[in-house]
Amino acid sequence: MPLAGAAAALFTVICWSGFLLSLRFGVSGDFNQGALLLMRYLPGFFLLAPVWWRIGFWPAGVKRRHVLLIILGSGPFFFLLMSGGLAFAPASDAGALGPGLLPLLVAIVAFLVLEERFSRLRLIGFAGIVAGCLTIGGWEALTGGIDGAWRGHLLIVTAVSTWALYTVAFRLSGLTALEAAALTMLWSAPVMVPAAWWLGLSVGEADIGEIAAMTLVQGVLTGVIALLSFGQAVRLLGASRTAAFTALTPVLVLIGGYLLLDEPLDAVKIAGIIAVSIGVFLASGFLEEPT
């Protein structure tokens, strides 16, 4: 396995984990959704300006429905759903229900739209994802561990569903990851400004260092650099091997939530997140990839 590819995949997973942890920190602390929305999309709008200037609002040869699904699935609508969900549910739940549930939802869309078929091993992986997610959500619903967590779960699952639509549309569009990101940033501009004005801009008592750190993680690392590292990982490792690395995301978010955000841990949640991680690994097709 190329070391550079593994490093790129690990860096991407760390960025995704940081996205969820910092977003949970933001919405449960000083930052409101309006401020976070600008931090998420404004840096990318400027950094990717040369790309969206080149491809334009409607890239030649790309179907408009694919463009619309890309914007819907990765733009402000997705972000507001995810940040709204993290206002109710802990980051560890988002780690399982977000990157963990994504392969299953993408598989469902691919089955319905592309008539894609899956091996028995991958189906076992999907079953593991479902079992883990039901364990996490069901246990909290039964025990009432966190007030309103079920609302967060519904919003997170809805957000990931839109990202699944984005994933399939991106696959069909023929765009590069950088072009799709630039298109999202371009179309997000006329939405995020009035949305942020309507939601209001508030950073509470956060100092300039905290604001800069949040902007760096949300807008630069996750919004731009992680896309490049993910594309590099896919190029060097292949899609299946890269997807296998995403199984680390729920675990890293679980550990980060416990250490950095003082989120509670129990044996049932740990078991659920382990089930999701194993399911993601099997569903990725890594074990079926020829050596």
In the block, residue with structure tokens 């091993």: 121
Res 190: pLDDT: 86
Phi-psi region of 56 (alpha: psi -120 to 50; beta: other; left: phi over 0): left
Distance CA 131, CA 124 (A): 10
Contact 268, 141 (CB under 8 A): no
Segment 205-248, tens digit of pLDDT: 888 988 999 999 999 998 888 888 887 887 777 666 777 777 78
| CA distance to 67, 88, 96, 197, 221, per residue, from 271 (Å) | 39, 21, 11, 42, 30
Res 279: pLDDT: 85
Res 147: pLDDT: 66
Res 155: pLDDT: 92
Res 215: pLDDT: 92
- Which residues are CB-neighbours of 63 under 8 A, at least 6 positions away? 172, 173
What predicted TM-score, i.e. pTM, was given to this entire model?
A: 0.84
Give me the half-sphere count of Cα atoms (radius 13 Å) on the Cβ side of residue 37.
Answer: 26
Residue 193 has pLDDT above 80, yes or no: yes
Phi-psi region of 201 (alpha: psi -120 to 50; beta: other; left: phi over 0): beta
